Structure 1
Amino acid sequence: MLNRTDLRGRVPRPAELRATLPRAEVNVDAALHQVRPVVDAVRDRGVEAVLEYTEKFDGVRPATVRVPQAELDRALAELDPAVRAALDEAIARARTVHADQRRGDVTTQVADGGTVTERWVPVSRVGLYAPGGLAVYPSSVVMNVVPAQAAGVGSLVLCSPPQAEFGGLPHPTTLAAAALLGVDEVWAVGGAQAVAVLAHGAVDTDGSELAPVDMVTGPGNVYLTAAKRMLRGIIGIDSEAGPTEIAILADETADAGHVAADLISQAEHDTLAASVLVTTSEQLADAVDAELERRVAETKHTERVDTALRGPQSGTVLVSTVDEGLQVVDAYAAEHLEIQTADARDVAARVRNAGAVFVGPYAPVSLGDYCAGSNHVLPTGGFARHSSGLSVQTFLRGIHVIDYSEAALREVAGKVVALADAEDLPAHGEAVQARFEGDAR
């Protein structure tokens, strides 16, 4: 069922390998041309433009952009108890993991009377995005809010697209998740217009202020990604997220049913989702194909899954050894990487490039999506070669505080002057010498 690439005994160099492996093609540059008028209109006309585009793209026009507190309270009160219990558990585990990520300030004594302190200061106001397209994503609310709160962000606003089915409000489960997390500012707006109003701010239809943010995080479609790219600089962003990906490195010990189920679990996100199997076993590849044929027909989103699995972004890559497989998955740098081999922990410890690594048969990606405690907002499109997933650090800025006494500056003054002269920036040296002009007199 999956397209096959046979690299047994001939794994190419990294650059060629990256070009060979299956990958979804997303043209953010092309989307910029469609997004620019939206962003410009929101900048110039505020909420009027937001609501026009909301009506055009989402088929509904909310009375206000900001969701009333009563609607958040109602969504939480009416939340299915089983879903509430699951969200409570997901939140608790995420808080446990992310609390350990918070860095403390560090002071280093460089010389007698000279210190440099690194202070970690949270971003003041952050806009968090929870998608609302083909699925409902209360888990994305958890994954965005928890690290921001652990970092100490003082002001949070959650954006999620309004739904005609729910009277112009975001999905009630999304609202309930926000309420559970103590987020009381939620805006019913999605896509590029959400990023634009977060960046520029506006005045709501009831006269209340929609204050701009300093940073926007969270995944979305190509238009939201294009808007993040366009507005970067006015706002900080976490990353440019593309279609979701799973890669599984497996040998002959892997269970074909587990592998197939996990490939399907990512394929149901989107027709562009990538599901890639890298294996040393042709027999496993055949067995996985057979399992896919059976399981795809039985799953709820059969057409979506089938399109994703048969697309050019998905496939099986055959390799001779697990070492070759590691070369392949490191070149691919998957958003989610599962290791299903005989010595999964040892192999996982050798992985260099992945958004998150899932070890062995009992750590499927679905666990990380919801209740592992890890974060599921992860780099896609090979960005895991140089970028990390969302964490507490995303919302922190390191500020160096330099504190030198007169004696400490005097001790190093000559070296500062020498380096300033070497760079032909004499005024830099003069700024130091000015403090000791009395010495010559």
Structure 2
Amino acid sequence: MSSVEIKVKRLNSKDAQFKQTLLSSLSLPMADDEAIDLAVLKILAEVKAKGDEAVLSFTKQFDRLGVSTVAELEISSKELEQAYQGLSAEQKNALDIAAQRVRSYHERQKIEAGCHSWEYQESDGTRLGQKVTALDRVGIYVPGGKAAYPSSVLMNAIPAKVAGVSEVIMVVPTPDGARNSLVLAAAYLSGVDRVFTIGGAQAVGALAYGTKTIPSVDKIVGPGNAYVAAAKRRVFGTVGIDMIAGPSEILVLCDGASNPDWVAMDLFSQAEHDELAQSILLCPDAQFIEKVQASINRLLPEMPRKKVIEASLANRALLIQVQDMEEACEIANAIAAEHLEICAAEPRKWAELIRHAGAIFIGNYTSEALGDYCAGPNHVLPTARTARFSSPLGVYDFIKRSSMIEVSEAGAQTLGAVASTLAHGEGLQAHARAAEMRLKK
């Protein structure tokens, strides 16, 4: 087997400028952001003003589809079922198992994550609580450019349906009319209600503002390219969004006792997404880092997406030598990666020290790829260090909470006096009077 010479950037936590170098290595190039934002702003304005006409125009321009109406861009439920029935037995079985595991996990999450209504009664008869209701209509964006992602359909649509969302609208670009059977089959299995073959900022705009053919939604979820991310940022407030997804990331914590080929391939698994994806290894063993570098050079030539992987590794990957695993965990918390693998003899010991990560993969046999497809937890995860304050997509993203307050006559006497005092203190006399009017004295 031939090998290549690709030198992944090395860092050492002992270096004087380590923190600054690490932070700068985590940052993405910003050169194109302004141009993308301006282009997206124009597209959204067109869709908002012209509806179907703009969606049709942009779809013809970007996806080269020869249709005359937006209605022709909708895939019928019968076609979705036919796509599922037309799969090979192996594909159908894999999709069935993945869907079942994702559904089971999110049904458990609904029970455990406080996604239910509740209330309690105080001694004076006042009742307080929370009413939980699902969103009425959700839009899910499924990428369809460089690759097709049936797993993305499962991860976005199933938790929405488990939450009780009445209608799920899916949009997926189909450049040159190429429809992926696995994607359509996944939509069928997930219970997606309507599917439109549109993508890009125009799809986000159509879901946010609504057109004659495409209904407006309450929230838009799902990953996409830089134009989709910019569009989601722009429409937030008109609709809810899950997060602004950046390039994929993987961080591997390794004590040096793992298989270097496994680690190298796990780094590849995110690098193959696109050239801006980031793969990082934290390890205290310098010799093991050398072995991983050798594995990278030996295994890369056999990868079908080797050009994408090579660009990603050359431009954004890091092999970082740390003093010990405690420091590795400290640095991992600062990075707050989307995917965090712990490949070590005592993985749970180190998992206890992790506070910030989108998903934590524990042990040598838990490859990140299993989480992407069929483990059960959601693969829509916070990127670009937002795992410091964000969570994976879940059932809780498709519900909302209303506070329930029912004050008894006796309770109004106590609470009214408190509210009156505080309202006068804020200079809001009408607030105070509204509370005082219900007092017996």
- Opposite residue 401 of structure 1, the aligned amino acid is M
Matches within 5 A, 1:210-289: 210-289=214-293
Letter in 2 for 1:309: L
Q: How far did 1:318 drift?
A: 1.3
Q: Give per-residue Cα distances to partners, 1:273-292, cap 9 Å, x unaligned.
A: 11111111111111001000
Match of 1:207 in 2: none
Which residue in the other structure is 1:38 paired with? 43
CA distance in 2, matches of 1:229, 1:184: 25
8 Å CA contact retained: 1:158, 1:183:
yes
Secondary structure of the residue aligned to 1:52 is helix
Q: Which residue of 2 aligns with 1:93?
A: 101
Which amino acid in the other structure matches residue 137 of structure 1?
A: Y
How do residues 427-438 of structure 1 correspond to structure 2 at under 5 angstroms? 427-436=430-439
Q: Tell me if the contact between 1:335 and 1:356 (Cα under 8 Å) persists in the aligned partners.
A: yes
Is 1:154–2:166 an aligned residue pair? Answer: yes
Work out whether 1:193 is the aligned partner of 2:202.
yes
Matched-pair contact (CA < 8 Å) for 2:12–2:18: no
Q: Which of 6, 9, 15 lines up with 1:3 in the alignment?
A: 9
CA RMSD of aligned residues (A): 1.7
The CA deviation at 1:353 is 0.4
User: Is the aligned partner of 1:388 residue 2:391?
Assistant: yes
Task: Show the counterpart of 1:171.
Answer: 180
Q: Which residue of 2 aligns with 1:377?
A: 380
Matches within 5 A, 1:64-103: 64-102=72-110, 103=115
Structure 1 stretch 60-69 or stretch 385-394: which is displaced more?
Answer: 60-69
CA-to-partner distance for each residue in 1:46-76, whole Å, 9 max, x for gaps? 1121121112112223452322333223212
Residue type at the aligned position of 1:200 = Y
| TM-score normalised by length of structure 2 | 0.93
Task: Describe the SS at the equivalent of 2:109.
Answer: coil
CA distance in 2, matches of 1:307, 1:374: 30
1:359 equivalent in structure 2: 362
- C-alpha distance in 2, partners of 1:171/1:340? 35
Q: What CA distance in whole angstroms lies between the structure 1 residues aligned with 2:304 and 2:130?
A: 51
Secondary structure of the structure 1 residue equivalent to 2:340: strand
**Measured at CA, do residues 31 and 261 of structure 1 come closer, stay the same or move farther in structure 2, by a change above 3 Å?**
same
Which ranges of structure 2 fall in alignment gaps of 5 or more residues?
1-6
Q: CA deviation at 1:171?
A: 2.1
**Structure 1 runs not aligned, ≥5 long:** 205-209
1:325-364 to structure 2, matched below 5 A, reads: 325-364=328-367
Shift of 1:181: 1.9
Asked if structure 2 preserves the Cα contact closer than 8 Å seen for 1:11 and 1:324, the reply is no
Shift of 1:28: 4.4
Q: Offset of 1:118 from its aligned partner?
A: 0.9
CA shift in 2, pair 1:343/1:29, >3 Å: farther
CA contact (8 A) 2:9 2:317 kept: yes
1:157–1:185: 8 Å Cα contact kept in structure 2?
yes
**Shift in CA distance, 38/67, structure 1 to aligned 2, threshold 3 Å:** same
1:360-382 per-position Cα deviation (integer Å, ceiling 9, x unaligned): 11111000000100100000000
Question: How far does residue 125 in structure 1 lie from its aligned partner after superposition?
Answer: 0.4
Amino acid at match of 1:32: D
CA contact (8 A) 2:65 2:177 kept: no
CA distance in 1, matches of 2:99, 2:77: 21
Matches within 5 A, 1:20-31: 20-25=24-29, 28-31=33-36
Residue type at the aligned position of 2:405: I
CA contact (8 A) 1:123 1:396 kept: yes
The CA distance in 2 between the partners of 1:31 and 1:18, in whole Å, is 27
Residue 134 in 1 paired to residue 146 in 2? Answer: yes
Q: 1:177 to 1:361 in 2, by over 3 A?
A: same
CA contact (8 A) 1:163 1:171 kept: no
Q: Structure 2 counterpart of 1:424, which letter?
A: G
Helix, strand or coil at the partner of 2:42: helix
Kept after mapping to 2: 8 A contact 1:54/1:60: yes
Cα separation, 2, equivalents of 1:199 and 1:122: 18
Distance 1:67 1:254 in 2: 47
Distance in 2 (alpha carbons) for counterparts of 1:68 and 1:96: 27
Q: Does the C-alpha gap of structure 1 residues 354 and 29 become closer, same or farther in structure 2, counting only changes over 3 Å?
A: farther
The residue type equivalent to 1:338 in the other structure is E
Q: Pick from 386, 397, 400: which aligns with 1:397?
A: 400
- Which AA in structure 2 matches 1:342? A
Distance 1:61 1:72 in 2: 21
Match of 2:124 among 105, 112, 117: 112
**Are the equivalent residues in 2 in contact too, given 1:18–1:331 (CA < 8 A)?**
no
Shift of 1:256: 0.7
After TM superposition, the structure 1 = structure 2 runs for residues 307-322 of structure 1, keeping only pairs within 5 Å, are 307-311=311-315, 313-322=316-325
Q: What amino acid sits opposite 1:19 in the alignment?
A: L
Number of corresponding residues: 427
Counterpart of 1:394, as a letter, is D
SS of the residue 2:139 aligns to: strand
Q: Distance in 2 between matches of 1:347 and 1:227?
A: 38
